Amino acid sequence: MTDVQTFFKEARQKRSKRAKAVKYAQARAEVIERSQGRCEVVLGPITCTSQGTQAHHIRRRSQGGQDTPENLIWICATHHSWVHANPATAEHYGLLRRSSFDPAPGLVRVEKVNR
């Protein structure tokens, strides 16, 4: 590969990374607005009332999850740790979705709570 080809390849990679970062930031902003800044975790009859602080991918990016509002929820740090420590229970409540289990692609279980 010549220096010119390397230069253009690196430029394309940088543009791609910037575009992904912009897309993620836009999706994250939409999720924060949707949640009104509150944690979106609903465990049966229990709704978290904490302030959300992190975006959580329902389907992990490593398993093909996208940076879209449909795949993101705004979540407090406590519940984010809990989701990853208890994947089977989190999956039951729709907070985590594995690639092999996908009953309704693109649908997210997020209940809007009037506060």
Which pLDDT tens digit goes with each residue over 4-45?
Answer: 677 667 767 777 788 889 999 999 999 999 999 999 999 989
At residue 5, the 3 state secondary structure works out as helix
pTM: 0.72
Q: Residue 107: is its pLDDT beyond 50?
A: no
Which pLDDT tens digit goes with each residue over 58-78?
Answer: 999 888 899 999 999 999 999
pLDDT for 30: 97
Domain positions in the chain are 3-92
Alpha helices in the chain (DSSP H): 3-35, 77-85, 87-92
